[in-house]
Amino acid sequence: MSRQQTHRPLAVLAGAGPGDPGLISAAAMDWIAQADTVLYDRLANPSLLARCRSDAELIYVGKGPGAHAMTQDQINELLVRKTAEGKLVVRLKGGDPLIFGRGGEEADALVDAGLPFRIVPGITAAIAAGACAGIPLTDRRLASTVTFITGHEDPGKDESSINYDALAGLDTLVFYMGVGNLPAIAERLISAGRPAETPIALVQNATLSTQRTVVATLAAAAETAKTNNVRPPALLIVGKVVTLHDKLAWKEKLPLFGQTVLVTRTRRQASKLTEQLVACGANVIECPTIEITPPDDFAGLDEALGQLESFDWLVLTSPNGVHGLLTRMRQLGLDGRNLAKVRIAAVGPATADLLEEHFLQADLIPDTFTGEALGKALATKVRKGGKVLLARSEIATKELPEILHAAGAEVTEAVAYRTTRPDSLPAAAIDALTDGKVDWVTFTSSSTAENFLALVEGADIDVKALKLASIGPVTAKALLAASLTPTVQATQHTIPGLVEAIANWKEHPRT
């Protein structure tokens, strides 16, 4: 049971953080996972909603420039109504609920309705933008104060409540939602006595892989923003601390910063590759080109599982094989005890790691993580006439069993899962491909490569213009068969090896 479990009704005003889903608090994620209803903002990363219960009600209430799904009064009314129905309602707000997030108004509405609420703080955009752009908002050498200011006041006000005369003498200023009013902000600060040559930075899409930092002077701020097409969401940072950006801008120096990478693995497997690419600064679009399903007929697998103790070796060539095999064993009332007398061979560390999660140890992992290398390594271990159970996909190549047969092994092949092609690629992937915004496409098996090529056939996509990353020689062979040369091939045929190959690639100079 979650440590946050509580009685309903209850409203939780939770900060979603600045955009990067890794920067939300653990407390906020606990509440999201329990919520009956989630009212979420435009700047709350949509991936956070994956933690919601499958039966949770998700309602978009975002507000963007000139495009409001609801007015604030309507949001307040909806929040009160859903909570009054006896639900646990999470109001998921970008950044922090109480820093230019109108969380105070929503809390007011709940108090007036006599409804209980909680407030879960979040990392506000100013702090995140400074950290990710390499601009310390305070630094004892340059700035002892920092001030947050809205660049977009209530349009119903007769006059601005911002005291520019006071602001002009303070160290670091951070304006939220200020891009649209940038000319007026700069003019008022200069008129109030802030030097025109004061350095400024505009940080767009802070914390995301699409983050962009544009540096100028206060006098040139508006023109620089226009020339560089700076668009919301963006923050304006004013002050001497901006001079530290060039030296401390760590995020924008990541090896894959600003590059878009398609991940073609199954949805279930994509997360590890996605996480490692994002850690290198990439913008990742998950684009599954294979779907893993149970076999149409379990007869062959069931027969083999019924005589597990007769096998000398169990051979698994992918995490999918592990998952399919163990799932069927559970369905038949079997478990690890039935494998006590069987030695296990795994094609590589990912397969072995998944076995370990189920308290099973691989007895053999080849030095090179391919089916051919696995077959050669096992051929030296299996006795003549030894019985080997090979549990894998129905479309797997024959190379491995042929090597084992040649070594004198008696091989039983059983289908543990099916690999199928989805009907189409996700819309986000198609849009990025047709717009020429994809830098890399990753392939972790021959099936991902073959299916990707089949799914883009006939579309206005120049595959030869893309950089293609192969996890190993078998996958590369599938690309070469389509007259495509992989840009990189992992030296170690693993997910970390694939990411390393992409991150270390340097374009050859044109001759």
Pair 187, 223: CB distance under 8 Å: no
Residue 372, exposed/middle/buried by CB under 10 A (0-12, 13-18, 19+)? middle
Residue 372: name the closest of 469, 443, 474 by CA: 474
Pair 319, 354: CB distance under 8 Å: yes
Is 272 labeled as catalytic in the residue annotation? Answer: no
Is 41 labeled as catalytic in the residue annotation? Answer: yes
DSSP letter at 95 equals: B
Residues 6+ apart with CB under 8 A from 319: 269, 350, 351, 354
Q: What is the 3-state secondary structure (H, E, C) of 135-177?
A: CCCCECCCECCEEEEECCCCCCCCCCCCCHHHHCCCCEEEEEC
Cα radius of gyration rounded to whole Å, the chain: 28
Give the up-direction half-sphere exposure of residue 468: CA atoms within 13 A in the CB hemisphere.
Answer: 26
Q: Name residue 419's amino acid.
A: T
- Strands of 342-450, DSSP E: 343-346, 387-393, 410-420, 440-443
Dihedral, CA of residue 184, residue 189, residue 192 and residue 193, to nearest 10: -140
| Catalytic one of 20, 30, 36, 41 | 41
Output the furthest CA–CA distance in the chain (Å, rounded): 92
CA 282 vs CA 23, 67, 130, 188, 380: distances in Å: 17, 29, 20, 38, 42
Pair 226, 214: CB distance under 8 Å: no
- Backbone phi and psi for residue 248, each to the nearest 5 degrees, phi listed first: -105, 5
State both tokens at 277: 């690419």
Q: How far apart are CA 12 and CA 83, in angstroms?
A: 10
Residues 6+ apart with CB under 8 A from 328: 294, 298, 301, 302, 305, 416
Pair 216, 200: CB distance under 8 Å: yes
| Catalytic one of 63, 272, 381, 387 | 63
Q: Which residues are catalytic?
A: 41, 63
